[in-house]
C-alpha cells in the first residue's frame, strides 16, 4: 500500500526542518554562545513539532468535516498549515530578541 504525501504533511515536514534552523539563526543573530544556539535549536524543533502536529490534525479534521462544502474544505485544508510556517520562522527570533535585547 502506497501512501502519498499530502499538502499538510509536506508543510509539517518543512516546519520541523525549519524550526531548529530558525532557532539557531535567531541565537546567532543575537550573538549568543554555542550553548544558547543548541538550546534555541532544540526549542525550535520542539516548538515546530508540536505546532506542526496540532495544525496538521486540525487541517485533516477540516478536510473530513461533512458540514462544510467541498471547496471550503479544500481551501481551509491548504491554508490552515501555512501560518504555522510563519510562526515557526518568526517565533524563535522574537524570543531571542526578548532575551538578548
pLDDT digits (tens, 9 = 90+) for 40-96: 999 999 999 999 999 989 988 888 888 888 888 888 888 888 889 899 999 988 988
pTM: 0.82
**Torsion angles phi and psi, residue 48, rounded to 5:** -65, -40
Task: Report domain extents, the chain.
Answer: 12-100
- The reported pLDDT for the residue numbered 1 is 44
- The reported pLDDT for the residue numbered 5 is 65
pLDDT digits (tens, 9 = 90+) for 1-39: 445 567 788 888 999 999 999 999 999 888 888 999 999
CA 96 to chain centre: 17
Other C-beta atoms closer than 10 Å to the C-beta of 62 total 18
Amino acid at each position: 500500500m502506497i501512501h502519498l504525501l499530502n499538502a499538510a504533511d509536506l508543510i509539517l515536514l518543512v516546519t520541523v526542518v525549519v524550526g531548529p534552523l530558525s532557532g539557531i539563526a535567531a541565537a546567532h543573530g543575537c550573538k549568543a554562545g554555542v550553548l544558547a544556539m543548541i538550546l534555541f535549536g532544540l526549542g525550535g524543533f520542539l516548538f515546530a513539532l508540536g505546532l506542526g502536529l496540532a495544525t496538521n490534525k486540525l487541517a485533516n479534521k477540516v478536510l473530513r468535516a461533512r458540514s462544510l462544502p467541498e471547496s471550503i474544505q479544500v481551501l481551509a485544508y491548504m491554508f490552515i498549515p501555512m501560518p504555522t510556517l510563519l510562526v515557526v520562522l518568526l517565533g524563535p527570533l522574537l524570543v531571542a530578541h526578548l532575551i538578548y535585547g
